[in-house]
Amino acid sequence: MTALKGNLIFGQSGGPTSVINASAAGVILEALEHPGLIPRVFGMHHGIEGILHDDLFDLSKEDRRELELLCGTPSSILGTCRYKLEDPQADDGDFERILEILRKYDIRYFFYNGGNDSMDTCSKVSRYLQSKDYDCRVIGIPKTVDNDLFGTDHCPGYGSAARYIATSIAEVWHDTHSYKTPMAVVFECMGRHAGWLAGASALAGVIGRGPDLVYLPEVAFDQEKMLADARQVLRQKNVVLISVSEGIMTADGRLVAEQLSSRATDAFGHKQLGGTAALLADLLAGELGVKVRGIEFSLLQRSAAHCASGVDIEEALLAGRTGVKAAMEGASGVMMGYARPGHGAYRCEIIQVPLEEVANREKMVPLTWINEEGNGVTRDFIDYALPLIGGEPHQIHEEGLPRFALLKKIPARPGV
Amino acid sequence: MTALKGNLIFGQSGGPTSVINASAAGVILEALEHPGLIPRVFGMHHGIEGILHDDLFDLSKEDRRELELLCGTPSSILGTCRYKLEDPQADDGDFERILEILRKYDIRYFFYNGGNDSMDTCSKVSRYLQSKDYDCRVIGIPKTVDNDLFGTDHCPGYGSAARYIATSIAEVWHDTHSYKTPMAVVFECMGRHAGWLAGASALAGVIGRGPDLVYLPEVAFDQEKMLADARQVLRQKNVVLISVSEGIMTADGRLVAEQLSSRATDAFGHKQLGGTAALLADLLAGELGVKVRGIEFSLLQRSAAHCASGVDIEEALLAGRTGVKAAMEGASGVMMGYARPGHGAYRCEIIQVPLEEVANREKMVPLTWINEEGNGVTRDFIDYALPLIGGEPHQIHEEGLPRFALLKKIPARPGV
């Protein structure tokens, strides 16, 4: 493979995480270290839409210190999007435009950071550019708090969200157990189809501060069974902590949130927006007659950089850096994935996964990692997830507030 | 004042905070350093109820290292209660029992850590013991995330909750501003009557990541004005972040939460439990037609020891330690308060406030610290609150999870 000289472009897509910017730092900082091969680094403003609108930033002009601060800055610093490209066979307008912009800025390295939809985008771009004989290395960098990407042991963003959830539940455990009053608390974690985050709440059980009942979307939710389980825990412990995925469904495939809320109409005559936690807490109050709290982690769980996992940050950074090295060595059409080699102490290796293997697929929690009662996870799940929340978070503070990266975001111009 | 020899008892009361256990550490560790004067240290199991039921712990038998870990352990390690003592003139049964137990365990130092109700308890105990000529030093240690205690510049627990709220909002700011989609987010902070915590959300504005609109219960809430304000912010910024106290009320003195929820009946025919954030988010969705999120900080804000303010922890510890020193020197019937002397750099001094000045009173946010529009706080508020969230949190972690204090909680026996 001959060395390919040209500029690099990087974009972020889909829902943000606490460490997506750490991957950005990895890609940008590594690329800037190879000016002979990669003269300039561009950023897409709002992902692929930034290319379509010729709305790019010149990241070569950012201060190095600010780029390093990206590791403690949550969400997508360049802006994100949910734009889904058409199949180029049906409509190649978007793709023609992408190629036009790549030529305009002499871009030969295309990096896209996102979930399975974004890997689909990446895959389509890669195949289109090949079909047009435009030499460009296309690399996907994974991210998603949902941890549901195929082809990788785990996803950047998951460990931090998992740590935040486990830590918060352990702290609330102390709060609820300080009272003599019987109480039920329902925590709601993200995860429409895969229960990785709700499962992570069980990590608090490692220090004896975990939820008593955990419900994942991989197993059909039975309301009567849950009420019976909660009643039993209350009798034994006086407090019951319940953690659920937002996407839990009953056996008939209907979302619990929809079933409970469809019975209620709000003040404005339209369907109540209440989350699963609030609705289940309401149900528990009515059926068990105890004090309840519904706590939805909402956007907090994917933004809480102050409680990020050090392991997650390091790995997200590494995925970015390794991606650039791999691309310079010839890799293209692949996503940087994680592998966990062998047994023994936790280690993480970066692997290359063909984009088409990742695109539009979802990885669920294995059913063997969910207990027989369907209300908790097994030791295998804990052994899998615990190493991912390790390491110290390293956010910089000034006057008690996070010192986030401040980018200049200078509009890009073609030429040198 | 002659030296008073006898044992010390400590109890926690009311709603927990992130640092109430730091004050516990202060009292216990300081007392254990004076075995000549204070031979033993007891803890009340569930506050004053622990005395009434003769349910005490012998804290002299705890490991020092675990007592130090209390500074990173949220909530009330000894258990809390909301028991309110009768007026001893009307019914002195509880007080007779308290005196009986104090005599049984030779207790001469009575420490109670709580809010204004707890200072009322403390005050009544102090006067009763005096009336019975039982020589005992009675000291109140303040705590409340609500920051509404009279006679003190601020309250232990407030700075940590304030830091958590400001940090979380700043992080969610990044999340919402990464999209092109118009969006409204409503954050709900604790504070039934005083808006100190909702006001603290404006601290995120110091780094340009604050809420656009902040509503405190000190000012009447006008729904139409809020909708107009939100519309205007949306037009300018595409995203509007709104922070409210749970206790915001309209001019007629009715809670906004009750007014909105009274229009809706839930699935079980009883009044919907939805919090103010969810209800206002629902209102904004209906009226402005934008994507919304209601985020209630709920128990998280008073439990988040992982995001505690270092200043808050140090001061909570100091209040405990200074209280013991003051009691040994003769102080009684007082609460350890905070004063902020002079101008210039922030400093905090411990002062003694007569318990009856604190009991059953609430300190509101001064109206001059709320802007004319009634939708934000002034620079005076920021200058007041910012120093309280400073300092690094110092929670110890093991495998990515907090290492909380583990007390043996050995039941106390009278005698040596």
**Searching chain A, which residue's CA lies closest to the CA of residue B387?**
A399
Name the catalytic one among B92, B94, B120, B146: B146
The pLDDT tens digits of the residues spanning B225-261 come to 999 999 999 999 999 999 999 999 999 999 988 887 6
**Searching chain A, which residue's CA lies closest to the CA of residue B406?**
A207
The pLDDT tens digits of the residues spanning A361-389 come to 899 999 999 999 999 999 999 999 999 99
Q: What is the pLDDT of residue B232?
A: 98
Q: What contacts B28, CB < 8 A, 6 or more positions away?
A: B10, B41, B43, B59, B62, B67, B70, B320
Find residue A32's DSSP bridge partners.
Answer: none
3-state secondary structure chain B: CCCCCCEEEEEECCCCCCCHHHHHHHHHHHHHCCCCCCCCEEEECCCHHHHHCCCEEEHHHCCHHHHHHHHHCCCCCCCCCCCCCCCCCCCCHHHHHHHHHHHHCCEEEEEEEECHHHHHHHHHHHHHHHHCCCCCEEEEEECCCCCCCCCCCCCCCHHHHHHHHHHHHHHHHHHHCCCCCCEEEEEEECCCCCCHHHHHHHHHHHHCCCCCEEECCCCCCCHHHHHHHHHHHHHHHCEEEEEEECCCECCCCCEHHHHHHHCCECCCCCECCCCHHHHHHHHHHHHHCCEEEEEECCCHHHHCHHHCCHHHHHHHHHHHHHHHHHHHCCCCCEEEEEECCCCCCCCCEEEEEEHHHHCCCCCCCCHHHECCCCCCECHHHHHHHHHHHCCCCCCCEECCEECCCCCCCCECCCCC
pLDDT at position B222 over 50 = yes
Domain ranges of chain B: 7-144+305-360+392-402, 158-302
Task: Read off the pLDDT of each residue in B18-41 and give the average, rounded to a whole number.
Answer: 98
Interchain pair A79, B263: CB under 8 A: no
CA B95 to chain centre: 27
Pairing of strands B334-339, B137-142: parallel
Q: Are B221 and B249 in contact (CB under 8 A)?
A: yes
In this complex, the residue of A203, A263, A268 whose CB is nearest that of residue B401 is A203
Give, in degrees to the nearest 5, the angle at Cα A43 between A39 and A49: 135
Q: Are B369 and B377 in contact (CB under 8 A)?
A: yes
| Residue of A227, A382, A401 to mutate for B, most B C-beta atoms under 10 A | A401
Compute the distance between CA of residue B402 and CA of residue A207 in angstroms, rounded to an integer.
Answer: 8
pLDDT at position A236 over 60 = yes
**Searching chain A, which residue's CA lies closest to the CA of residue B295?**
A298
Instruction: Tell me which of 2.60.40.10, 3.40.50.450, 1.10.730.10, 3.20.20.70 is the CATH number of domain A7-144+305-360+392-402.
Output: 3.40.50.450
Q: Which residues of B14-24 are buried (b: 16+ CB within 10 A; e: fewer)?
A: bbbbbbbbbbb
Q: Nearest CA to CA, how far is A97 from chain B (Å)?
A: 21
Q: Are B37 and B329 in contact (CB under 8 A)?
A: no
Q: A80 to chain B: which residues are within 8 Å by CB?
A: 178-179
Compute the mean pLDDT over every residue in chain A, rounded to the nearest whole number. Answer: 94
Hey, what are A345's tokens? 């102490």
Q: B273 to chain A: which residues are within 8 Å by CB?
A: 278, 281-282, 285, 292, 294
Q: What is the pLDDT of residue A267?
A: 43
The pLDDT tens digits of the residues spanning B118-173 come to 999 999 999 999 999 999 999 999 999 999 999 999 999 999 999 999 999 999 99
Interchain pair A404, B209: CB under 8 A: yes
Phi/psi-derived region of residue B344, left when phi > 0, alpha when psi is between -120 and 50, beta in every other case:
left
Pairing of strands A401-402, B56-58: unpaired
Order across the sheet with A107-114: list the strands. A56-58, A41-44, A7-12, A107-114, A137-142, A334-339, A349-354
Q: Are B201 and B187 in contact (CB under 8 A)?
A: yes
Q: Do domains B7-144+305-360+392-402 and B158-302 have the same CATH topology?
A: yes
Q: B303 to chain A: which residues are within 8 Å by CB?
A: 168, 171-172, 174-175
Task: Read off the pLDDT of each residue in A198-219 and give the average, rounded to a whole number.
Answer: 98
Interchain pair A171, B305: CB under 8 A: yes
pLDDT at position A39 over 90 = yes
The pLDDT tens digits of the residues spanning B191-204 come to 999 999 999 999 99
| Residue of A77, A118, A306, A392 to mutate for B, most B C-beta atoms under 10 A | A306
Size of interface A-B (CB pairs under 8 A): 226
- pTM for the model stands at 0.96
Q: What are phi and psi of B191, to 5 degrees?
A: 130, 90
Q: Give how far Cα A244 sits from Cα of A175, A279, A298, B149, B401, Å.
A: 19, 12, 13, 37, 20
pLDDT at position A238 over 50 = yes
Task: Identify the residue whose tokens are 């697929």.
Answer: A361
Compute the distance between CA of residue A131 and CA of residue A98 in angstroms, rounded to an integer.
Answer: 14
* Residue scoring higher pLDDT (B274 or A112): A112
**Searching chain A, which residue's CA lies closest to the CA of residue B169?**
A300
Model confidence at B262, pLDDT cuts 50, 70, 90, reads low
Compute the distance between CA of residue A359 and CA of residue A150 in angstroms, rounded to an integer.
Answer: 8
Of all residues in chain A, the percent with pLDDT exceeding 90 is 88
B146 is known as an active-site residue = yes
Q: What's the ipTM?
A: 0.96
CATH class of the region B158-302: alpha beta
Task: Read off the pLDDT of each residue in B49-64 and give the average, rounded to a whole number.
Answer: 98
